[in-house]
């Protein structure tokens, strides 16, 4: 397991999962790839399939319709896989707490699939790109 | 149509109505029984004619109300048909979707959330509730107990590939189907498209939403009037200035509040800055979809200074939370104005360069012209708004038609194009960016002194509609108050809600390679729409989004070769 974690920490490939977000966190995530922040310098890149991903960037409250899809995406990832709950909604459903179509937060749904999942939280509404980078760095340095 | 003329036309159907309530010069409510709503709506849409906005379903104490909102764009007048359904046991009303495709989605939605049957609806399937939502539980009925317990999803193992929900149309197995979504690498949000194809040509398109439905309308009823702006600004991250503003416009109309001038100007500035960054965002994504990543990187790079400006003014890059009933929360300090103006000059120069690069590019002309055309008639039939409408020659813009904030004081133009293709929509958005920069500059120079808010004691009983021009089109909010401190009904209609269904008109008959681009051309926003990968198990050709994207990019490369465009080298920049 040690070497698996070790190999995970360099050049993290991420898959972006929107589970009912307002788009802000998602746009800030895409923003990370554009010239001002440009995380591709560090080998971090968005990939098109969860099967290629080292980490999931999950945004949004997890709506009733999105929950089964989120579980399935998590199952498809190669383990170990770090789940990043990006933004207040993903961390604890935020302002949408108690809405009828919300079944989240993200950690609850992920733990239904894998009780030992590695989950990191980046709060903020939306977290600034700098905060996202800092969150990823912090999480990877304690792994 | 002039206001007087409209008033006269409305008298023609007087015998079908219970009453005509004229709340103000350009806010008219027509009260009728459910049996007559079809005839009245048909008269308004086909004979007058008015533009359809949206419908609202309300659970009143003794009956259900369906409100069909129409708009006369020449005077910015709202005409609302309020139909009463007296039978609470089996509520039903005649569907208006057969002659008005724009109403198809909202009637499905009202059926989902209130359980009202629409007779003769062409396509009554589940729209915004999830596949596993229990039948017969209607979240917006007042007597429904929330939260509702639900099954936790499939127990383990593989997912349910073939959804049993009525949300998925059964497709004849002889036809190849291309499934797109719900997750695919480029689109930031979840949505599911099902394209039926004949060779390379798309013959039918179907969409399943619900992934992003959070239930904002019900949640809004639990918040105080002053808290709701924080909620509605989180309906959509890129419209986080226009949603609260439309809501505030409605509430201020109920309470008869006129905010101070300075507040109106601050609202205008924030809204226009939002439009600049949103349009640049779209241009970047548009470039990305056709394999032109340079445009993507450029546009997003030049978008950053706008976000920095917004952060300087409001304290946050998005979700500004700056507007409140009666004014604004934060002022723009006068000493900041020179800095903002200076920054605007830079942004304008960069945007100009980007626009020239995009509009002069022969490859883009060949790739975007004549693609995904939405004709003028279809644009009216689907009641599209914003750049999507203006690209098809429908010259509507709330900022001019029914001025709110400080738009009436500013000098600017409504940009329209008649072609209706993707190129026209791109041109409209790019040129609008300059108009927005112009507006911000004027507003900053004219910014009047004075307070930024008036004190609001209470919101009296009443109902009102408010709208605002979001980057994607008209955002419409309907608010009803009973004199308490919470809205008893709050309806939100985001622009994508009417723009997205126009796919049926613009995608069918197109090549698969053009579909991603056509879908992106209306700048769809599903979090707005729904306040609003499981790939189909058909034994046919199933392609994923990567393959679609590759097709699109190959077509660009092919065109490049055909027209002999030079290979772009890094040294050229």
What are the distances in angstroms from CA B24 to CA A20, B76, B369, B463, B468? Answer: 38, 12, 44, 12, 18
Give phi and psi for B224, each to the nearest 5: -75, 160
- pLDDT band of B358, cuts 50, 70, 90: confident
- pLDDT band of B346, cuts 50, 70, 90: very high
Q: What percentage of chain A has pLDDT greater than the value 70?
A: 99
Q: What is the pLDDT of residue B187?
A: 65
- What does the pLDDT average to over B146-164? 44
Question: In the predicted model, is pLDDT for residue B160 greater than 60?
Answer: no
Q: Do B300 and A46 count as a contact with CB atoms less than 8 A apart? A: no
Q: What is the pLDDT of residue B529?
A: 52
Q: How far apart are CA B63 and CA B31, in angstroms?
A: 14
Q: Do B188 and A23 count as a contact with CB atoms less than 8 A apart? A: yes
Q: What is the pLDDT of residues A5-18, one digit of tens each?
A: 888 888 899 999 99
- What does the pLDDT average to over B129-156? 70
Question: In the predicted model, is pLDDT for residue B352 greater than 90?
Answer: yes
Q: What is the pLDDT of residue B195?
A: 78
Interface of A with B in 65-94 (CB under 8 A): 65-69, 71-73, 94
Of A30, A72, A100, the CB nearest to B188: A30
Q: What is the pLDDT of residues B313-334, one digit of tens each?
A: 999 998 898 999 999 998 999 9
Q: What is the pLDDT of residue B525?
A: 62
Q: What is the pLDDT of residues A85-122, one digit of tens each?
A: 999 999 999 899 888 889 889 999 999 999 999 999 99
- What does the pLDDT average to over B258-274? 95
Enumerate the residues of chain A whose CB falls inside 8 A of the CB of residue B304: 31, 34, 36
B469 or B520, greater pLDDT? B469
Question: In the predicted model, is pLDDT for residue B539 greater than 50?
Answer: no
| Minimal CA separation from B30 to chain A, in Å | 32
Among B56, B58, B60, B70, residue whose Cα is nearest residue B106: B56
Q: What is the pLDDT of residue B268?
A: 95
* ipTM of the shown complex: 0.94
- What does the pLDDT average to over B397-402? 92
- What does the pLDDT average to over B151-180? 48
Q: How far apart are CA B193 and CA B468, in angstroms?
A: 29
Query: Is residue A49 less than 8 Å (CB to CB) from chain B?
Result: yes
Q: How far apart are CA B171 and CA B165, in angstroms?
A: 14
- What does the pLDDT average to over B295-316? 92
Interface of A with B in 14-43 (CB under 8 A): 16-31, 34-36
Q: How far apart are CA B300 and CA A29, in angstroms?
A: 12
Q: Suggest the residue from B112, B234, B274 to mutate for an interface test with chain A (most A CBs closer than 10 A).
A: B234
Q: How far apart are CA B313 and CA B62, in angstroms?
A: 47
């Amino acid at each position: 397991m040690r070497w698996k974690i070790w190999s995970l920490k360099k050049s993290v490939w991420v898959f972006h999962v929107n589970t009912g977000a307002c788009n802000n966190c998602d746009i800030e995530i895409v923003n990370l790839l554009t010239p001002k922040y440009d995380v591709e310098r560090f080998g971090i890149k968005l990939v098109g399939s969860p099967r290629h991903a080292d980490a999931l960037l999950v945004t949004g409250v997890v709506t009733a319709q999105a929950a089964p899809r989120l579980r399935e995406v998590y199952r498809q990832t190669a383990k170990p896989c770090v789940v990043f709950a990006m933004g207040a909604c993903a961390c604890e459903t935020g302002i949408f707490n108690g809405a009828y179509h919300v079944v989240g937060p993200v950690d609850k749904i992920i733990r239904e699939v894998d009780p030992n999942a590695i989950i990191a939280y980046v709060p903020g509404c939306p977290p600034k790109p700098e905060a996202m980078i800092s969150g990823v760095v912090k999480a990877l340095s304690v792994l | 149509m002039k206001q007087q003329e409209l008033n006269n036309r409305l008298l023609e159907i007087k015998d079908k109505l219970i009453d005509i309530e004229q709340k103000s010069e350009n806010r008219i409510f027509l009260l009728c029984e459910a049996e007559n709503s079809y005839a009245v709506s048909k008269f308004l849409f086909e004979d007058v004619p008015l533009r359809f906005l949206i419908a609202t379903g309300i659970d009143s104490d003794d009956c259900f109300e369906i409100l069909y909102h129409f708009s006369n764009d020449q005077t910015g007048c709202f005409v609302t048909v309020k139909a009463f359904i007296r039978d609470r046991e089996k509520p039903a009303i005649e569907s208006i979707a057969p002659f008005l495709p724009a109403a198809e989605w909202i009637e499905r939605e009202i059926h989902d959330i209130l359980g009202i049957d629409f007779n003769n609806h062409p396509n009554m399937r589940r729209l915004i509730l999830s596949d596993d939502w229990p039948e017969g539980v209607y979240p917006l009925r007042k007597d429904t107990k929330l939260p509702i317990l639900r099954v936790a999803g499939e127990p383990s193992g593989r997912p349910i590939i073939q959804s049993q929900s009525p949300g998925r149309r059964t497709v004849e197995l002889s036809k190849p189907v291309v499934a797109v979504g719900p997750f695919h690498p480029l689109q930031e949000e979840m949505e599911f498209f099902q394209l039926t194809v004949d060779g390379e040509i798309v013959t039918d398109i179907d969409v399943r939403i619900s992934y992003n439905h959070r239930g904002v309308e019900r949640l809004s009823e639990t918040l105080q009037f002053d808290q709701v702006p924080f909620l509605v600004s989180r309906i959509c991250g890129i419209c986080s200035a226009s949603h609260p503003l439309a809501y505030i416009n409605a509430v201020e109309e109920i309470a008869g509040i006129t905010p101070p001038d300075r507040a109106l100007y601050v609202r205008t500035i924030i809204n226009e800055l939002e439009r600049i960054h949103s349009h640049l965002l779209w241009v970047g994504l548009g470039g990305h979809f056709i394999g032109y990543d340079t445009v993507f990187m450029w546009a997003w790079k030049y978008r950053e200074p706008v976000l920095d400006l917004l952060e300087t003014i409001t304290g946050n890059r998005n979700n500004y939370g700056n507007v409140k009933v009666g004014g604004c929360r934060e002022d723009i300090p006068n000493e900041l104005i020179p800095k903002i103006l200076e920054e605007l000059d830079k942004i304008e120069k960069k945007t100009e360069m980007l626009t020239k690069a995009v509009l002069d590019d022969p490859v883009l002309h060949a790739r975007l012209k004549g693609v995904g055309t939405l004709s003028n008639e279809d644009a009216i039939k689907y009641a599209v708004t914003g750049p999507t409408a203006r690209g098809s020659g429908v010259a509507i813009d709330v900022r001019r038609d029914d001025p709110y904030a400080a738009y009436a004081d500013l000098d600017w133009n409504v940009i329209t194009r008649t072609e209706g293709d993707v190129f026209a929509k791109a041109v409209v958005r790019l040129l609008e960016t300059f108009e927005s920069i112009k507006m911000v500059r004027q507003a900053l120079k004219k910014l009047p002194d004075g307070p930024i808010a008036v004190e609001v004691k209470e919101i009296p009983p009443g109902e009102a509609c408010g709208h605002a021009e979001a980057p994607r089109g008209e955002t419409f909010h309907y608010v009803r108050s009973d004199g308490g401190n919470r809205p008893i009904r709050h309806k939100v209609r985001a622009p994508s809600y009417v723009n997205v269904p126009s796919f049926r008109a613009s995608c069918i008959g197109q090549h698969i390679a053009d579909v991603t681009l056509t879908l992106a051309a209306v700048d769809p926003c599903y979090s707005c729409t729904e306040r609003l990968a499981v790939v189909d198990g058909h034994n046919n050709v199933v392609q994923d989004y990567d393959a679609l994207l590759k097709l699109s990019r190959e077509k660009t490369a092919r065109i490049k070769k055909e027209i002999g465009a030079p290979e772009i080298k890094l040294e050229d920049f």
